[in-house]
Structure 1
């Protein structure tokens, strides 16, 4: 007999594992389908809000970041210390597996395999076809499918119009073994230099005994491998041991619709929810996975496909304004080295630093200091008009 589940979640990254966990906690039968051995290229930063909201234990934190250094095209560096708290850094291979194990502990069924297609039986029930890690292709029946299978999602490509039109940045990084001396394992370095990325940035993110060194760009013909080689030299890591190399696309903005109006929805990178300008994705993936699980549970309760729309509506209500602001920032400040220089110069301002960290760490546009916002507005305007030196 064909196995039947309330929900099948395709993709076992932070989004898919969180969606499966949410549904399993609510008593739904869930199959979590994930490709074995997959590790996504990722800086690995998780803010305190994520740690708190999703109960992440300390042992998963490979490093605790207490400052960031912004490096301008002129090589001028601006330090941005975190006044109170830290940003956690995780290694995705252990972090993602822990999330999948948690979903299984709460009742989800794990299955290693590659998604193929979705069909529908004569009674209208969806059938998910996949290739297991071992054995012939098989399928299961389900009332709802959540596609959390990353950028350029196979689920989205099959079931949602316009999925192929989402623009992407391609990211590439190398995991290095850092030297025992001379490397600050509590600071993230961000390089705003056109030679390292014409439309994004380069990064050096510590992970304890290792570091992620990478860059991203959507410009065709730009060599990310050469960029990372140059970045390693600039960071003093040219001779560090390379453990592995990884690359993947990162979507630039959320899709206009995340469901097919019937029984399929997407979430996380598959829905395009990566923060513009910063490329941050883990928190938004997990929050999107939680909302997808809630929406699927509501759909399962009454069978009304309109419930599937609530995931996007709730996500954009919480984060849409932040995404719009970050998209405008990326469009303007990353467009030339002259503007990058001024952007890094702005980061010296204590008000900018305080409000930036508060917004990032707590995932909100802080309203605690109206006076500081007014000051920043006029400082930004002065930089835009060139009334202050970079």
Structure 2
């Protein structure tokens, strides 16, 4: 691979932003990759050559959801299983290569919801409801051992019915907590290694907004929070965990709830009109990774990205290097992805989506077969 001498050129834009966590106007530096940049690719060493596409069994597409990869070659899902004695019940099921049949792992109680598989494939989180409220539930794979976690720290706090979010290294689970007498929710974090929970209040945020999603960095020191501002749309806010509070340092309008950490200092989010941004808190630099993005998903090592573009029913994959996506290639046509999961060794991509664009008013009328889960295996 060679680069031309032009390299990257940078355009600095002074953007005055009035934010709730700043005392006045400020500027941002936005780095835009050069459109003239050329990369010579050795055709014999293309990083994303599709080897096999596995269509998952039709039986799993009707009811349920795919949770992600348990191992480099097996995925886990939550699906309805019919029995004569109990009728329909939810079951954790596993599909292993060549993905032609399912294996039932264990039943799931009707009082649990919002299940999410940790990135390392070892733990499934969920929210269990009872007469007393909601509790954080962790299920260890493959043993099936269940643990009810004390997610709050005192009796005035209540876990909200929102999907908990894992850190990329699978150590932390972030969730939302409502405290009596407080208008804004607090952010709870459970440390699976220390087996302790802590609740953090939000500091330095005066603008009205309701937290709907939170994601902690791998070092346990930084937090990303998506806040819904009703008619004003949504923003992503970045804060530092300091003692018992999260101090906000940066915020930006977003076009979707897709947010992710690249490392302890950099995170990625989708701005308005689909622009995929990377923000670096070390130098307060905002860079454009991709224009017109519709959805995206990073590999677990943060070296590769799968994404789709607005107005196109094509799935792409590329290599993330610095502030650029290199060697991006179409890997599948005729799909609008809704969920994507890279295998731990980034040799496979699990995709769930819709075959063609449909208008919002008829989405609920779409037939189950319009949803097409499949696995792309690369050379």
Length-normalised TM-score, structure 2 = 0.24
> Which one has more relative contact order, counting CA pairs under 8 Å at least 6 apart?
1
Higher strand share: 2
Higher helix share: 1
